Amino acid sequence: MSDPAGTPWQLYAMPGNEARTDALVVRLGPRARRAGLWLHRFPDGESLVRVAPPPVSAALVCTLRDPDPLTVPLLMAAATLRELGAARLGLIAPYLAYMRQDRAFEPGQAVSARIYAAWLSGHFDWLLTVDPHLHRIDSLDRVYSLRSRVVHAAAPLARWIAREVAQPLLIGPDAESRQWVSEVAASVGAPMLVLDKQRRGDLDVSSRLPELSRWAGRTPVLLDDIASSGRTLAVVLEQLRGRSMAPAVCVVTHGLFAGDALELLRAAGAARVACTDSVEPPPGVERIALDAELAAALPELCDLSQELLP
């Protein structure tokens, strides 16, 4: 993961991504190092970015939770690295934003998944992310014109569940969760079920649990790719109350926990909440690290980008 002359790849951490970047550098060893990036916010909300000069190859590290205030300085940093000589530039975004709006549901709506993909594709040569929230888009290549690689969190989630939860019953809260719930269940050797969900608004969600007596004594593990408002998981947790089962555990790939989401899950009956560190877990949420999986995917991406050299 270094330039032909042996200069290490430089990873630039956007603010809030320093620990993640340092962990990747440790995993990659002498092939990579963290370089300086500084962000100044003016009182009127504008940003000023400064970066250390790059070698030919570089990557920005920025998980895209709360993307609106992050995207402008991210693209400024990318453009500045290009101006300073980066011929190959990647983006390591463990959480990739703006994937839900993949078509216009009402006349005049922006298709933000496609628009945001065009912005990032115009500034980067490759993208590394973790389990993007795909709906009707079956592959990132449908909207992103850069090279992309997806790290799957199923194996780390399965290892955590196998280690931490006795006699789990995996529950997917909606049909979209079936793919990764099936994979985790097969790895853990646990039974699973997937519910039907009806969403009538951002905070209006309903679903129905089947009869669970055949799984009495098992620990329900609610498994979802994203916890944002927390309503999808809370609806299932509330239905589990009074069942002959151990207290429920929530395991999430991307723990956004907007607003009072975490408090809502606790109040609804979640005994434990765990998520990957694609987004920095808040206090009280157990961490499932992805450093090894991200670092393992980087050399292939960097080798593929060699052809981008002039």
Tokens of 78: 């990318």
Q: Which of 88, 197, 218, 254 is catalytic?
A: 197
Residue 213's CB: how many other CB atoms inside 10 A?
Answer: 9
- Whether 25 sits among the annotated catalytic residues: the reply is no
Residue of 119, 130, 65 lying closest to 92 (CA atoms): 130
The Cα–Cα gap between 61 and 87 comes to: 17
Structure tokens at 165: 């939860």
3-state secondary structure of 207: strand
Cα dihedral 80, 24, 289, 20, rounded to 10, equals: -40
Residue 120: both structure tokens together: 């990032």
User: For residue 181, which of 131, 239, 231 has the smallest C-alpha distance?
Assistant: 131
Contacts of residue 255, Cβ cutoff 8 Å, sequence gap at least 6: 227, 273, 275, 276, 278, 279, 281, 282, 285
C-alpha span between 120 and 144 (Å, rounded): 8
Nearest to 125 by CA among 144, 112, 150, 153: 144
Are β-strands 197-201 and 204-207 bridged in parallel, bridged antiparallel, or unpaired?
A: antiparallel
Half-sphere exposure of 14 (CA within 13 A, CB side): 24
Which of 213, 212, 262, 255 is CA-nearest to residue 234?
262
Catalytic residue annotation:
197
